[in-house]
Structure 1
Amino acid sequence: MNLYTNLSNSFKLYPEKEAYVFLNESTTFRELHQKVNQFAHSLSQQGIKKGDSVALLLGNTPEFIIAYYGALCSGATVVPVNPTFTSREIEYILSNSKAKGVIADASLHTTLTEVKLKLPTISFIVYTKAIESELAFESFVNHNVQTFAGPSIEEEDLAVILYTSGTTGNPKGVMLTHKNLLSNAEACRDLFEMTKEDRVVTVLPIFHVFCMTVCFNASILSGATMLLIPKFSPQDVVETISKQQATIFAGVPTMYNFLLQIPTTKEQFSSLRISISGGASLPVALLHKFKEHTGIDIQEGYGLSEAAPVTTFNPINGERKPGSIGVNLPNVENKVVDIDGNEVPTGEVGELIVKGPNVMKGYLGMPEETSRTIKDGWLYTGDMATMDQDGYVFIVDRKKDMILVGGYNVYPREVEEVLYDHPEIIEAAVIGVPDESYGEAVKAFVVSKNPSLIENDLKIYLEDKLVKYKRPQYIEFLAELPKNTTGKILRRNLRNVEQAQTK
C-alpha cells in the first residue's frame, strides 16, 4: 500500500463523488484521478523518475492536490514549501532537497527565475498561469492520457520531505515514508469515523503536515469531500460551514479565537459533528468559550512533523478531558520520561516520547541530529508533559520554553492559561527575560479587546491566581501577536524582539 492507492481506491468506489470544492466549483474523484495521472505522465516526460524530488510552492488550491498525488503516482518525493517564504529560504530548501522539478504559484516567477540560475539541479518549473515561455499548469494536465503506469511504490519508500522551522540555523528536512503518512491518515480516519459523507473544511495551510494528514490524505482515503478555502478568514469559514454543510473543521487555537470575535449563531455551526484543534496548546478558557458560543465541543490532539503528525487525541465518543491532548492514537505509544529515558511516575513532568509506524525515517542528510532525536525507535519530542492514571497526556510546555526563576520552573502555558481566563484578553504569550536577581523573570505579551486595560490591572488580577514567582513582572500590550502561516503564536519572535531591544 502507498498514498496513491488512497486516491485510486476512492476513484473506483466513488467515481462521481465530489473530491473537493474550490470557489464553488466541484471536482469529482473521476476528474481528479484523471488529472493526477495526466500530471504524473507529464512529470515522466520531463525526466522525473522514482526517488526524484518535486517541490510544491502552492497554497490551498486544486493545483496542490493534483501535483501532490501526481508526483507520488510518478514515484517522486514531494517537497511542500510555504510559498510565502523568502527567496533565501526557498533556495535553501530546493538546494537541500535536490529538487528536480518545481510546481509554483505564478507570483513566484521572478524569485524562482533567480533561484534556478543558482541551482543546476532544477530542470523545469511549472507555473499556475501561463508566463512567457514557461510551462503552464493547465497545459501540463491537458492531454489524452487516461492512466499512467508508474513504478512500483513500496510503503518504506520516501513520500514527502517536510522542512521544520528551526529556532536557529536552517530548517531540517523531515523524511516521511508512505507508511508514515498512510498509517497516520488511516488512524485519523478511524478515530474521527470519517466516511464518504463527510465534508471537511480545508483552510489550514495544505503544505503543513496537520492539514496534509487530517484534512487532505484522510479525506482522500475516506472518499470525503474537501472544502478548499484559499486563505483563513473567520467570515469565509463560517459561511463555508453553513452553506456547504461541513461536518468536520480542523484549526489551530488562534483560528477558534478569531471565530469568536465575529457575530455568529449556533445554527451556523450546527452541521459540524467534529471540531479538531492541534498545532499548539488549546487554552482551556478558549475551549469553554467556544462551546458556550457555538454549542460545539473542540477535540484537542497533539502531533509534530516528525510523527506525520498525530500521536494522541481525545476520544470522539469516550471521555474528554479539558486541557489534555488525549490518549494514544491507534498503534502509537506515548511515554513521559526523565533525562535518562526512564518513565516518570504518574502525574510527574517529563519529556514526551513517541513510538509507532508514523515516526519519521529521519532528517535528510543529518544522521547525528537523527540519532539525537530518535533513540531505540523512540522519537523525543522536546515537549514537557504529564500523564494521568488513565493514560491522558497533558502538555506542560516546550522544553526550550521553560523559564527558570530563582531555581523554580515556570511553564509559560500555565501563566497563559490564567491570562486567557481574563474576560478582556484575546491572546497571550509568555517568555522569560534576563533578571539580575533571579536569573530570569516572566514577561507577558497580551492582546486586549479593552484599550483602557493597563498593566497594573492585570497584575492585581493575577495576585490570587499564581504564586509570586510565576506572575509576570513585565506586561506588554500589543495589537497582535506574531504567528506563523498556520496561526501558531511564535514565542521565539517575541524573544528575538526582546533581545534586540535590550542590547
Structure 2
Amino acid sequence: MSEDVAPAMAAAAAPPMTLQQAIDHLVANEPAFALTEITLNGVRYKAFRNCPDTVAALLSQSRGAQDNGAADYLVYGVERWTFDAFTDEVDRVAEALQSQCGLAPGDRVAIAMRNYPEMLVLTLAAASIGAVVVFMNAWWTATELDYALHDSGPAVVFADGPRRAAIASLPQHARRTLVGVRDGEEGAAMTYSDLRDQGRAGGLRAVTLGPDDDFAIMYSSGTTGSPKGVVQTHRAAISAVYSWLMQAALAPLVAPPGPDDPPVLRPSALVTTPLFHVTALYPLFLLSLPAGAKIILMHKWDANDAIRVIKQEQVTRFLGVPTQSADLLEALETSGQDLPSLRFMGAGGAKRPAAQVASLAARFPRAVVATGWGMTETCALGIGMGGEDYILRPDAAGRLHPPVQELRITDDDGNEVPTGEIGEITVKSPAVMRCYLNQPDATAETLRDGWLLTGDLGCIDAEGFVTILDRKKNIIIRGGENIACLDVEGALHRHPDVIEACAFAVPDDRLGEVVGAALHLRAGAHLTASQIAEFLQGTVAHYKIPEKIWCQHDALPRASTEKTDRRAIRARCLGLNT
C-alpha cells in the first residue's frame, strides 16, 4: 500500500528505519497492529490482537476516521453520500433484509450487478445481519450464473437489468427471491428502492456473529473448468484490510517525507475494476473504511473520463489492471494533461509489463508506482512492492506483506527449497479462505495444515523479493480475469468440426494475456477465429472466447502420459523454443 492511506497515528520517523525496524516499531507501539497467536482447526496463526471481529464492526468503528461521519464517502456520477448517509442506508437495508426478506445469520445473499453504489450498501447490510454475500460475476452468461446459483443456493438475489433478465430466464429462478436494482427495478415484483424505503433506521435486530463465521463467497476459475466458490470469513477480510493499513503506516517510517514532498491529501480511491473481484472489494472498498478514504465508482472504464474524475475528486489512489494504467498513460500523453493528486499507481489482477514501470514512474513523479499479487483465496493479500524497489525489479512481484503472513517456496513433496531455487509459492495467514464451497477434495488439495498451495511457481531472493515465473494451474489471466483452459476447451469441443482443443495464454501488450487455442479439426473442415467467436457467443463469457486459433487436421501433440502436451503446443503455435 502507499502513504496516501496512512493513518494519522503513523508519524514519520527520522532517521529512516529499515523495513523490519518499522514493522517491529508498529507492532510494539501501535495498538492497532499489536499481534497475538490464535488456533484455528488445530493450526497456529499470527493475528492482529485488537482489530474488529467482523466486517460490521469494522464499519461502525470507522466513523471517526471519516470525520465522525460528515466526510463525503461515496461518489457515483452526480450522486454523493456522506459517511453517515451511507451507513444510514446500510442500516435501513439491513433491517429490511431481516423484516421484509426474512433473512437470518448464515443465509446467503447473491449480488449480480455492475459497480453500482447499491453493491457496497448490500455487502455491508448483509454482513450486518450475519448473512453471507455471494458475489456473482456480472460478465457471466445465463448458464454460468445458473451454475453459481445452484452451487451457492442464495435465498435472495439482487440484480441489475441485464442480470435480472438472465436469471429470470432460468427454469429454477422462482425458488429464490429476485430483487431488481437500478435498471432492473422496472417490472420487478420486489425492488431495492422499496426495501430501502421500508427499512427502519435503528430497527435492526442484534445477531450473534464471530470472526470465523462466513462473510462472503467469491468465485474463482480453477483447472477443473467450473468456477470454485471461495469461502471467506470475517477474520480473513479484516486480516487483509489491517495488513494493508499497516503497509500505509510503514511507508513514512521507512521513507520519511521530505520538505519538497507534495502536500498530504485526503485519501481518495477510484474504483475501476469489478467489485465482484478481490482487487476492488478488499484493498479499495473495505480498506477505505478505516483509512478514512473516499470511494468513487465509475460506470464504465474510459481513460478520458477517468482523467476528468481524478481531477474533479482529487483522487490519490488508482488501482486497476495494467491495461487501465496503459490506457490512462496514453490518454494523458494525447491530451497533454497532468494528474498531480495521484499518490499511488497500483496494478492488480494481472502482471504489469516490465516496460510500463519506468514510463509510469516518469509520468507520475508524485505517485508510488506499485504492483501486487494476491488471490481470491487470500482476500487479495499477498506480495507487493512500489517505488524504487519496483523500478529496480520490474519483473518481480515484491515482498510478503507483513505481519500476519508466512511464505514458503516448496517442491512437489512440500519441502522448502533453498533461496533462489524455483518451487511452488505457499502462504499461510488468517486471511486465507476457509474452504472451497461444496468441494472438500479441492479444499484438501489446496489447504494443507493451514498452508495454501497457490499453484504459482516462483523463487525468492536473499532480500525477500519474490519473482513469479509460471503457474502450475492452467489459468489464463486476461486483463485481470482468470480463465480456466478446461472451461474454454469444454466450450470448443461442442463445435461439430472440433475433434480436440487445447487452450493456452497468448501474450498481449494491452491485456497481458488473451486466449489462444489449437484445434484438431475433422477432415475437410476449416474454421476462423471469427467463426469460433460466433459459435461461442452466449455459451461462455466474452473474455473467454479465443482471439487466436491454430487449426490442423492431425492429432494434437501428446506427452508421455498421453495427456495433451499444452506446453509444447503453445510453444509451437507461438514459435517459441521448447
SS of 1:236's equivalent? helix
8 Å contact from structure 1 (residues 401, 431) kept in 2: no
SS of 2:56's equivalent? helix
> Offset at 1:102?
0.7
1:208 aligns to 2:277 (yes or no): yes
> Offset at 1:260?
2.8
Matches within 5 A, 1:3-82: 3-11=55-63, 14-45=68-99, 46-82=101-137
Q: Distance in 1 between matches of 2:554 and 2:116?
A: 43
What do the CA deviations read for 1:63-119 (whole angstroms, capped 9, x no partner)?
A: 10111111111110000112231111111111111100011102333322223x414
1:275 aligns to 2:345 (yes or no): yes
Range moving further from structure 2, 140-149 or 327-336: 140-149
SS of 1:288's equivalent? helix
SS of 1:141's equivalent? helix
TM-score, normalised relative to structure 2:
0.69
Gaps of 5+ in 1: 403-411, 436-475, 477-488
Q: Percent identity between the aligned chains?
A: 28
Distance verdict in 2 for CA 1:394–1:431, change over 3 Å: farther
Q: Distance in 2 between matches of 1:432 and 1:140?
A: 45
Residue in 2 that maps onto 1:166: 222
> Offset at 1:394?
0.7
Matches within 5 A, 1:171-210: 171-193=227-249, 197-210=266-279
> Offset at 1:426?
5.2
Distance verdict in 2 for CA 1:70–1:282, change over 3 Å: same
What do the CA deviations read for 1:220-268 (whole angstroms, capped 9, x no partner)?
A: 2322100111221111222222221111110111111222332447862
Residue in 2 that maps onto 1:233: 302
1:288 aligns to 2:342 (yes or no): no
Q: Distance in 1 between matches of 2:143 and 2:55?
A: 31
8 Å contact from structure 2 (residues 369, 390) kept in 1: no
Distance verdict in 2 for CA 1:216–1:368, change over 3 Å: same
Residue in 2 that maps onto 1:326: 398
Q: Distance in 1 between matches of 2:243 and 2:447?
A: 22
Distance verdict in 2 for CA 1:93–1:197, change over 3 Å: same
Q: Distance in 2 between matches of 1:260 and 1:196?
A: 22
Q: Distance in 1 between matches of 2:468 and 2:547?
A: 21
SS of 1:59's equivalent? coil
Range moving further from structure 2, 123-132 or 147-156: 123-132
Matches within 5 A, 1:432-447: none
1:98 aligns to 2:153 (yes or no): yes
SS of 1:186's equivalent? helix
8 Å contact from structure 1 (residues 10, 220) kept in 2: yes
8 Å contact from structure 2 (residues 409, 424) kept in 1: yes
What do the CA deviations read for 1:105-145 (whole angstroms, capped 9, x no partner)?
A: 02333322223x41454134243353235112112111462
What do the CA deviations read for 1:287-311 (whole angstroms, capped 9, x no partner)?
A: 1122233434421111000011121
Which of 445, 455, 460 does residue 372 from structure 1 map onto?
445
Residue in 2 that maps onto 1:362: 435
The amino acid that maps onto 1:323 is D
> Offset at 1:2?
0.4
Q: Distance in 2 between matches of 1:433 and 1:495?
A: 8
8 Å contact from structure 1 (residues 336, 352) kept in 2: yes
The amino acid that maps onto 2:472 is K
SS of 1:314's equivalent? strand
Distance verdict in 2 for CA 1:133–1:364, change over 3 Å: closer
Distance verdict in 2 for CA 1:185–1:142, change over 3 Å: same
Q: Distance in 2 between matches of 1:125 and 1:4?
A: 23
Which of 157, 170, 174 does residue 213 from structure 2 map onto?
157
Which of 92, 114, 118 does residue 169 from structure 2 map onto?
114
Distance verdict in 2 for CA 1:257–1:12, change over 3 Å: closer
> Offset at 1:324?
1.9
8 Å contact from structure 2 (residues 215, 232) kept in 1: yes
> Offset at 1:434?
7.8
Distance verdict in 2 for CA 1:94–1:430, change over 3 Å: closer
TM-score, normalised relative to structure 1:
0.79
Residue in 2 that maps onto 1:484: none
> Offset at 1:57?
0.7
Q: Distance in 2 between matches of 1:142 and 1:184?
A: 33
Distance verdict in 2 for CA 1:44–1:5, change over 3 Å: same
SS of 2:217's equivalent? strand
Q: Distance in 2 between matches of 1:149 and 1:196?
A: 39
8 Å contact from structure 2 (residues 96, 199) kept in 1: no
SS of 1:211's equivalent? helix
Distance verdict in 2 for CA 1:426–1:502, change over 3 Å: farther
Distance verdict in 2 for CA 1:225–1:346, change over 3 Å: same
| Alignment length (residue pairs) | 436
Range moving further from structure 2, 55-64 or 309-318: 309-318
Range moving further from structure 2, 22-31 or 117-126: 117-126
Which of 467, 470, 477 does residue 394 from structure 1 map onto?
467
What do the CA deviations read for 1:405-434 (whole angstroms, capped 9, x no partner)?
A: xxxxxxx99x96xxx8xxxx6566499988
1:348 aligns to 2:348 (yes or no): no
Distance verdict in 2 for CA 1:235–1:189, change over 3 Å: same
